[in-house]
């Protein structure tokens, strides 16, 4: 069996995080500047059935049978073998690397799962269609996130901008005029599982208030899609600001995120918001023509540990 390699990009949520868990639409785009890679190499002289796993970014060098079944890498491999009806994997080494910061809202967990699922299925001689890859990655996401919407596995599998509604088939849409987003990383790790869990508790304590927040975010997302499709991305700026204000009210922003959002606006961004789970991780700003560098600099001066400039086009 020959070696097989695969990869998946990072992602950011443009609009609709958290509300998407409750059935509202969200928009997410792939971030190709960062990615997860997986390769599976046969071990001709290896012990039969032994799958060695090396993930140097997390200092992991072990065997599959030494991992708990709820370990995300074990769950991804198990998802592949169960789906293909394979009971024994030939001796091999799975190597996983990633440039996507962990717990930062850039979809690191989903991208690692997707790369591993693709590489293992390909190694086993049965490359999988995106729908199947995304389905298995969603099961693994439940270990990372508890109650994920499915948006992360969808956008990193299909590697296209998506308009996502939980439980609905993937919808893509036209980006009529390109636009530029600057991503600022707070450097503060914030597991999505925790912020999603906190929003759930607050929603349970105050369902009417939170359902109104979710509905308001849903209509912002719909307006954002219309702005993108009609070729008026500048209209996204105020929508981002409104979405950020609602996320603040839901309790998932933080002083650092708010500081970066303000720094972006002060440096001429057309709008800015946190992106992903919140409380840390990343935020995004919409650049006006020619001010990308100013915004990046403003982020760095306000404490961002890195910035990524992403041109959003078809
Ligand atoms: C995480 O990228 C987006 C959240 O809405 C969680 C989810 O949709 O699963 C916060």
Note the pLDDT of residue 200.
Answer: 97
Site to probe by mutation for ligand 1, drawn from 12, 26, 152 as the one with most ligand atoms within 8 Å of Cβ, is 152
Q: What percent of the chain has pLDDT over 70?
A: 100
Structure tokens at 18: 């958290």
- CATH superfamily, region 174-312: GHMP kinase, C-terminal domain (3.30.70.890)
For residues 106 and 167, what is the distance between their CA atoms, to the nearest angstrom?
Answer: 22
For atom 10 of ligand 1, the residue with the nearest CA is: 277
Note the pLDDT tens digit of each residue in 137-191: 999 999 877 789 999 999 999 999 999 999 999 998 889 999 999 999 999 998 8
Pocket of ligand 1 (CB under 6 A): 13, 17-18, 20-21, 105, 145, 148-149, 151-152, 192, 196, 276-277
Q: Where are the domains of the chain?
A: 4-164, 174-312
What is the structure's pLDDT at 128? 98
pLDDT tens-place string over residues 19-52: 999 999 999 999 999 999 999 999 998 888 899 9
Q: Does domain 4-164 have CATH number 3.40.50.1370?
A: no
What token pair was written down for 287? 């650049």
Give me the chain's average pLDDT, please: 95
Q: Mean pLDDT throughout 258-264?
A: 97
Active-site option among 65, 152, 266, 314: 152
Instruction: For residue 49, report the distance from its CA to the centre of ligand 1, in Å.
Output: 36
The sign one gets for the Cα dihedral 276, 258, 103, 198 is: negative
The predicted structure's pLDDT at residue 175: 93
pLDDT digits (tens, 9 = 90+) for 2-14: 999 999 999 999 9
For the whole model, what pTM was predicted? Answer: 0.94
The closest-lying atom of ligand 1 relative to the alpha carbon of residue 195 is 10
- Using the atom order of ligand 1, give the atom closest to the CA of residue 196: 10
266 is catalytic: no
DSSP 168-237: S--B----SS-EEEEEEE------HHHHHHHHHHHHHHSHHHHHHHHHHHHHHHHHHHHHHHTT-GGGHH
Q: What is the Cα–Cα distance from 276 to 2, expressed in whole angstroms?
A: 37
**Tokens 């072990």 -> residue:** 62
pLDDT at 47: 85
Task: Compute the distance from residue 81 Cα to the ligand 1 centre, in Å.
Answer: 27
Distant-in-sequence, close-in-space partners of 18: CB < 8 Å, separation ≥ 6:
195, 196, 199, 214, 217, 247, 250, 252, 277, 278
In terms of Cα–Cα distance, which of 242, 219, 221, 233 is closest to 310? 233
| CA-closest residue to ligand 1 atom 9 | 148
pLDDT band at 226 (very low <50, low <70, confident <90, very high): very high
Q: According to the model, what pLDDT value does residue 314 have?
A: 77
Residue 9 pairs in a beta bridge with 35
């Amino acid at each position: 069996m020959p070696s097989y390699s695969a990869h998946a990009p990072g992602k950011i949520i443009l609009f609709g995080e958290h509300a998407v868990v409750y059935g509202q639409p969200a928009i997410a785009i792939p971030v190709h500047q960062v990615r997860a890679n997986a390769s599976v190499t046969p071990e001709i002289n290896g012990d039969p059935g032994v799958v060695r796993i090396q993930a140097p970014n997390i200092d992991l060098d072990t065997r599959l049978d030494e991992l708990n079944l709820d370990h995300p890498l074990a769950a991804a491999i198990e998802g592949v073998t169960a789906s293909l009806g394979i009971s024994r994997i030939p001796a091999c080494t799975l190597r996983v690397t990633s440039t996507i910061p962990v717990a930062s809202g850039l979809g690191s967990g989903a991208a690692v799962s997707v790369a591993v699922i693709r590489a293992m299925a390909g190694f086993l001689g049965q490359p999988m269609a995106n729908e199947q890859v995304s389905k298995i990655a969603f099961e693994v996401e439940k270990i990372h996130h508890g109650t994920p919407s499915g948006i992360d596995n969808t956008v990193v599998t299909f590697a296209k901008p998506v308009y996502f509604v939980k439980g609905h088939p993937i919808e893509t849409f036209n980006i009529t005029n390109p636009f530029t987003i600057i991503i600022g990383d707070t450097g503060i790790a914030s597991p999505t599982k925790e912020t999603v869990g906190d929003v759930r508790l607050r929603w349970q304590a105050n369902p009417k208030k939170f359902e109104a927040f979710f509905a308001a975010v849903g209509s912002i997302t719909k307006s954002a899609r219309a702005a993108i499709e009609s070729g008026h991305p500048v209209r996204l700026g105020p929508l981002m600001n409104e979405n950020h204000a609602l996320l603040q009210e839901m309790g998932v922003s933080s002083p650092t995120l708010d500081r970066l959002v303000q720094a972006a606006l002060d440096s001429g961004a057309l709008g800015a918001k946190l992106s992903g789970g919140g409380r840390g991780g990343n935020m995004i700003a919409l650049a006006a023509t020619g001010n990308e560098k100013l915004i990046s600099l403003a982020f760095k001066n306000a404490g961002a540990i890195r910035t990524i400039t992403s041109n959003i086009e078809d």
